[in-house]
Amino acid sequence: MKAAIIYFSNSGITEKLAKRIKKDTDGELIRVIPDKEYGGYFISIVKMIGEKITGKTRDFVNDIPDLSEYDTVFVGYPIWGGKAPVILQNFLKKCDLRGKRVIPFATAGASGIKSSVEGLKVVCSGTQVKYPFGTSKKNKGDYRSWMEKVKQ
Ligand SMILES: Cc1cc2nc3c(=O)[nH]c(=O)nc-3n(C[C@H](O)[C@H](O)[C@H](O)COP(=O)(O)O)c2cc1C
């Protein structure tokens, strides 16, 4: 497996998981960086709701990466309102993911990853979205068995 790990993390929890995946896969870490920080928990919630109402979201400062050498792209994010944050979705729309295996991973307070995966499938059309892994404060996912499955 030759992997890239694209992720967005607002308060560092998803980033920690992304770094663990990097260690286990020797993949390239690509952090999606907003042009302006979202801020702390409550301010971020207000901003997320504002983005939903206006359709205007933060932009990202990253260049779009060349993913041609990778067969697998891990996509990581915090669950925001049951979904992947729009800034990450916008970034993914610009990436050429065709023919790749896309593996979502998400962290949350309590929600599972399932509700966010359907949206990702639309954003990452032309790819195989497989083996989603979610972990939350309430339900810790079984990272080790997930990683074993992904590596097979
Ligand atoms: C704007 C916002 C929306 C959130 N929405 C949800 C949610 O719908 N369900 C949930 O379980 N947790 C929700 N959370 C909690 C985050 O998913 C959780 O804290 C996550 O692990 C943060 O990851 P990060 O440190 O990588 O940003 C939300 C947090 C924020 C800031």
Q: Tens of pLDDT along 102-125?
A: 999 999 999 999 999 999 999 998
pLDDT given at position 93: 95
Split into its structural domains, the chain has a count of: 1
Name the residue of 46, 79, 115 to mutate for ligand 1: max ligand atoms within 8 A of Cβ.
79
Instruction: Report the pLDDT averaged over residues 46-62.
Output: 91
Q: Tens of pLDDT along 59-98?
A: 999 999 999 999 999 999 999 999 999 999 999 999 999 9
Share of the chain above pLDDT 90, in %: 93
What CATH number should be reported for the domain holding residue 64? 3.40.50.360
Q: Is the pLDDT of residue 56 over 90?
A: no
What's the pTM? 0.97
Domain around 146? 3-151
CA of 77 to the centre of ligand 1 (A): 9
CA of 80 to the centre of ligand 1 (A): 5
Q: What is the 3-state secondary structure of 35-76?
A: CCCCCCHHHHHHHHHHHHHHCCCCCECCCCCCCCCCCEEEEE
